Amino acid sequence: MTVYLVGAGPGDPGLLTVRAAELLATAEVVVHDRLVTKGVLDLVPRGCEVVDVGKAAGWSPVPQREINALLVERGRAGRRVVRLKGGDPFVFGRGGEEASALLEARVPFEIVPGVSAAIAAPTAAGVPVTMRQRSLSFTVATGHEDEAGPDGVDWEGLAATGTTLVILMGASRMAAIAGRLMAGGLPPTTPVVAVRWATTDRQEVLRTDLASVGSISLESPTTVVVGQVAGLDLRWLPAPPGVSTG
C-alpha cells in the first residue's frame, strides 16, 4: 500500500485507532485537514513531509482537485502517504472523492475508519444518540450548503421522522436550520446541545432549545444534537471537596 485514507477521530489523540497510530508512526508524507489537532500531529515522525490542505467555510486555499492530484503523485512515487482526515474519512470528509481519484489512477490505497464527531461529540456531552423509549434511531446531516448538493437537506422531512438529529458543519446556519425544523413540526422546546471542540481540552458544551439556538452565536467546529435525548446529561461529575459519596 502507498496511500492510507485515515480517520483522525474527533480530536483527542487517545481516540485514534491503533491502526491509525501505527501508520502515523511510519509515515513519510502526511496530508492533513484543518481540524486535525496538534496532539494528533505530534505523533508524526521527524523528517516526515507534512502538508496542510485545510479548508474552512468560504476558504479553500488548496482545491480538492489539487489534493487528489497530490495524493496520486506522492502515491505513484512509492512514498508511504497518510491522508489524515478529521473524524471518519467517509463521513462528510470527501474521502470518497479521494478514494475514487486513487482508484482511477490505479494507486494502491487503504481506508482506515475513524471515530466520527457525529458520535463522539454527543457522547462527550453525556448525550446518548439512541436510548430505549427515547430515541431508536439517529440521522447525521450536514449543515454546510456546499456539501448538501443542489437540492439541499430536507430539514422539514427530517423533523417529521422524530429521530435524533446530529448536525455537522452547521454552526453558522443554525438559525435557518432551526426555523425549518420547527416548520416541519418539531416543538420550539425540543432540547438542543451544541458541542465545540469535542473530546479536547477546549471542549465547550451549550444546552438550549430549538427556539433559542438560532439567536446564539456558534463557532466552528461545533456538532449540534437536536432531539429529546439532548435533554440528558449522563456525564459523571466528581463530588465537591468534602462531600462523601459512600
**Among positive and negative, which fits the CA dihedral 144, 66, 41, 85?**
positive
| Residues contacting 70, CB < 8 A, separation 6+ | 31, 51, 53
Domain-embedded: residue 30: yes
Same domain as 96, residue 58? yes
Enumerate helices (H) and strands (E) in the chain, giving the number of each.
9, 10
Residue 61 pLDDT class (50, 70, 90 cuts):
confident
Q: What is the pLDDT of residue 15?
A: 96
Domain identity same for 160 and 97: no
User: Burial letters for 87-124: b for 16+ Cβ neighbours within 10 Å, e otherwise?
Assistant: bbbbbbbbbeebbebbeebebebebbbbbbbbbbbbbb
Enclosing domain of residue 159: 117-231
166 and 209 fall within a common domain: yes
Q: Which of 33, 85, 88, 182 is catalytic?
A: 33
| 126 and 102 fall within a common domain | no
38 as an active site residue: the answer is: no
Q: What percent of the chain has pLDDT over 90?
A: 85
Can you tell me the mean pLDDT for 169-191? 96
Please say if 33 is a catalytic residue: yes
pLDDT number for residue 133: 85
**b/e code 142-153 from CB counts within 10 Å (16+ = b):** bbbeeebeeeeb
- Joined grid coordinates for residue 155: 430539514
Out of 12, 169, 174, 182, which one is annotated catalytic?
Answer: 169
Judge whether 184 and 157 are in contact, CB under 8 Å: yes
Residues 131 and 55 occupy one common structural domain = no
Q: What is the pLDDT of residue 246?
A: 45
Which amino acid, 101?
A
Same-domain pairing of 126 and 184: yes
Q: Count of domains in the chain?
A: 2
pLDDT (tens digit, 9 = 90+) per residue, 96-118?
999 999 999 999 999 999 999 99
What is the full DSSP assignment across 87-107?
A: B-TTSSSSHHHHHHHHHHTT-
Q: How much is the pTM?
A: 0.90
Residue 86 reports pLDDT greater than 90: yes
In a domain, 162, yes or no: yes
Q: Give the SS3 label for residue 74.
A: helix
Catalytic status, residue 52: no
* CATH number of domain containing 134: 3.30.950.10
pLDDT band with cut points at 50, 70 and 90 for residue 239: low
Q: Do 120 and 199 touch, CB atoms closer than 8 A? A: yes
What's the whole-number mean pLDDT along residues 156-182?
95
